[in-house]
């Protein structure tokens, strides 16, 4: 059941019993993992500000004690606090908490120090309109209330971080590798360049047009623009960190790195281009008749398709998804075969341990019009 919240901007001393009741409702439900559904009120941001003000006291007290165990975090906090904190501006405090919450996600060493962290990940607080009204108030948790069931990394959904399908199937190992990679970098100050900048950061015009600055057009212009830039920097950092971590994990599995999955296929393409310079050879050919599929290597002059069949195409390989993935690959390969035959395309399927001369011999025969079938298999199945 939705509870309507509506209170004026008052100090604690001016709160009525009804206001206190509404605030306690928010605070109570915020501490529990279930979603918090609140009917819209233009004063909702006030309640959140008060909640974060209460949280802040415990938060910073804990930081002063626990950060002594990890000095570089304390240094970072002090720099950010000194540069951007203003006792009269609540959003500045929230901003500091917001960025430290980001760091907590990617560092096991710091995550345990945040009492509210697990609760923030599980809660969902939202209004039905005028989201920007309490923009800064809920900003540092809005990455976390993603629908239940979606995995998060660095505060972002894994679907936004360009993690490969293989990486998504090894998330627990990937999370550990992210932490190892982060620690190995020894670069905790990913916002350091921003912190050292002049306070008078110009507000991006496009960002201003979003109406976020409507309520505080001058006073908070620098913090909004700073926040935009830092979020972009942080997102790129997390993306890069995830990519490096997954590549490190792939190496441990004796796999190629992300983007290097077509090494054998690319080598074959390069050799064919050198051997047949007179032919129009296309890498990753697409056509309407293929629909959403593509051909690894296509020789347009002689209507010949070449598909490199790695081991995941003919036997279950755990690192590629096992039996389930094999079933899918076989189905896709059969569909592609049918499309080739239907369009009178000659298909050469190349397997590991192939002999290059065997491929060139067949292509030469096709060029001379001496081929006698539409499907050729070259190489050995391991």
pLDDT digits (tens, 9 = 90+) for 30-67: 555 455 555 544 455 566 556 655 655 555 555 555 54
Share of the chain above pLDDT 70, in %: 43
**Nearest Cα to Cα of residue 95 among 240, 241, 201:** 201
What is the token pair recorded at 168? 């998504």
**Is the pLDDT assigned to residue 355 strictly greater than 50?**
yes
Query: Which pLDDT band, with edges at 50, 70 and 90, does 183 fall under?
Result: low
**Is the pLDDT assigned to residue 299 strictly greater than 50?**
yes
**Is the pLDDT assigned to residue 245 strictly greater than 80?**
yes
Query: 5 vs 86, 124, 376, CA distance in Å?
Result: 28, 16, 71
pLDDT-wise least confident of 118-127, 166-175, 224-233, 356-365: 118-127
pLDDT at 166: 78
**Is the pLDDT assigned to residue 72 strictly greater than 50?**
no
Task: For the chain, state the CA radius of gyration.
Answer: 29
d(CA 139, CA 119): 15
CB–CB of 124/144 below 8 Å?
Answer: no
CB–CB of 43/154 below 8 Å?
Answer: no
pLDDT digits (tens, 9 = 90+) for 273-285: 999 999 999 988 9
Helical ranges in 280-355 per DSSP H = 322-342
- Mean pLDDT over each residue of the chain, to the nearest integer: 63
Helical ranges in 31-134 per DSSP H = 44-66, 71-84, 90-105, 108-111, 117-122
pLDDT at 259: 66
What is the chain's percent helix, strand, coil content, to nearest 5?
A: 55, 10, 35
pLDDT at 162: 72
Query: 16 vs 7, 42, 49, 159, CA distance in Å?
Result: 9, 18, 17, 45
Query: 295-299 and 281-285 as β-strands: parallel, antiparallel, unpaired?
Result: antiparallel
Query: Which pLDDT band, with edges at 50, 70 and 90, does 337 fall under?
Result: very high
Spell out the domain ranges in the chain.
3-252, 263-378
Q: What is the assigned CATH class of domain 263-378? A: alpha beta
pTM score of the predicted model: 0.42
């Amino acid at each position: 059941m939705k509870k309507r919240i509506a209170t004026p901007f008052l100090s604690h001393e001016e709160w009525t019993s009804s206001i206190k009741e509404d605030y306690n409702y928010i605070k109570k439900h915020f501490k529990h993992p279930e979603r918090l559904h609140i009917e819209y009120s233009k004063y909702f941001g006030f309640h959140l500000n008060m909640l974060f003000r209460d949280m802040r006291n415990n938060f910073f007290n804990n930081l002063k004690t626990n950060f002594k165990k990890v000095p570089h975090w304390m240094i970072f906090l002090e720099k950010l606090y000194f540069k951007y904190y203003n006792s009269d501006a609540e959003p500045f405090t929230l901003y500091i908490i917001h960025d430290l919450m980001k760091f907590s996600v990617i560092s096991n060493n710091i995550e345990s120090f945040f009492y509210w962290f697990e609760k923030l990940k599980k809660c969902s607080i939202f209004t039905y309109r005028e989201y920007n009204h309490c923009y800064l108030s809920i900003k540092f948790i809005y990455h976390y209330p993603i629908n239940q069931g979606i995995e998060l990394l660095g505060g972002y959904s894994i679907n936004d971080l360009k993690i490969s399908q293989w990486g998504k199937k090894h998330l627990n190992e990937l999370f550990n590798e992210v932490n190892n990679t982060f620690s190995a970098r020894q670069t905790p100050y990913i916002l350091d360049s921003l912190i050292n900048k002049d306070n008078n950061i110009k507000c991006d015009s496009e960002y201003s047009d979003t109406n976020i600055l409507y309520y505080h057009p001058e006073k908070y212009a620098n913090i909004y623009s700073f926040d935009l830039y830092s979020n972009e920097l942080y997102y790129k950092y997390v993306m890069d960190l995830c990519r490096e971590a997954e590549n490190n994990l792939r190496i441990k599995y004796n796999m190629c790195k992300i983007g290097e999955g077509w090494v054998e296929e690319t080598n074959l393409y390069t050799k064919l281009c050198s051997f047949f310079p007179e032919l129009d050879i296309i890498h990753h050919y697409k056509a309407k008749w293929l629909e959403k599929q593509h051909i690894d290597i296509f020789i347009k002059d002689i209507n010949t398709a070449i598909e490199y069949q790695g081991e995941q195409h003919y036997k279950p390989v755990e690192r590629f998804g096992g039996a389930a993935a094999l079933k899918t690959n076989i189905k896709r390969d059969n569909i592609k075969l049918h499309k080739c035959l239907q369009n009178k395309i000659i298909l050469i399927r190349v397997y590991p341990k192939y002999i290059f001369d065997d491929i060139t011999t067949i292509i030469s025969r096709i060029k001379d019009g001496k081929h006698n079938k539409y499907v050729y298999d070259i190489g050995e199945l391991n």
